[in-house]
Amino acid sequence: MSRNGDGGLRFVVVTTNKGKAEEFREIFRRYNLKFRIEPLDTPEIQSMDLKEIAKRSALYAYNMLQEPVMVEDAGLFIDALGGFPGPFSSYVFKTIGINGILKLMEDINDRRARFRSAIAFYSPLTEPVRIFTGEVSGWIAKEPRGAKGFGFDPIFVPAEGDGRTFGEMDVEEKNEFSHRARSAEKFAKWISKFKEVPPPYR
């Protein structure tokens, strides 16, 4: 899906996650950015660093598409579990899921956690790869609440909120202070400064 704005460089948001795509659309429309969503699969990159994963994914996506690309990687870091699942959040969600995390937290009182996001943007026009990060602190709920959002949203309660989980918030509400919104806002402000170079993607 395209967004025909007139702000900044035209670029491609690379993600197969419909929830992420919806959140990015809501944020980028505020800046009237020119972009499209491309559901391109990127290789599973083994790294403990979200920024490194996003960077390598962006370079892969650029090599495939030959257009300016933006890729995001995110993770849930739980204090009592030593930062687990962290950069492996997507894999952990697919394997043990929300209930698996709640099982690991069953007898743990310290439920502090944080979501982190790393956005990588690459274009030969703006080399090297640019990285933008965001973070939100909160805690793990005792049980899932809400059916909105995706991933671990139903068990994460942001400290800056009103006690609801991300899974109980609309996209606009979540984007007020989510990790992804924070990294996306930084990126949007940065790319808005650039003018399109005709023809596109050259």
User: What percentage of residues in the chain have a pLDDT greater than 70?
Assistant: 93
Does the pLDDT at position 201 exceed 50? Answer: no
Check 6, 41, 49, 73 and give the catalytic one: 73
Does the pLDDT at position 1 exceed 50? Answer: no
Q: How confident is the model at residue 6 (pLDDT cuts 50, 70, 90)?
A: low
Question: Rounded to an integer, what distance in angstroms lies between the CA atom of residue 113 and that of residue 83?
Answer: 8
Average pLDDT, stretch 83-92? 97
Question: Rounded to an integer, what distance in angstroms lies between the CA atom of residue 140 and that of residue 186?
Answer: 26
Query: CATH assignment of 2-191?
Result: 3.90.950.10
Residue 180's nearest CA partner among 3, 1, 7, 26 is 26
Top mean pLDDT of 7-21, 41-55, 130-144 is at 130-144
pLDDT at 202: 44
For the entire predicted model, the pTM comes to: 0.92
Average pLDDT score over the chain: 93
**Is 79 annotated as catalytic?**
no
pLDDT at 44: 85
Question: Rounded to an integer, what distance in angstroms lies between the CA atom of residue 37 and that of residue 1?
Answer: 5
User: What percentage of residues in the chain have a pLDDT greater than 90?
Assistant: 88
Q: In this structure, what are the phi and psi dihedrals at residue 6, rounded to the nearest 5 degrees? A: -135, 20
Residue 192's nearest CA partner among 41, 32, 77, 48 is 32
Does the pLDDT at position 197 exceed 70? Answer: no
Structural contact between residues 122 and 129, judged by C-beta atoms closer than 8 angstroms: yes
Per-residue model confidence as pLDDT tens digits over 55-71: 999 999 999 999 999 99
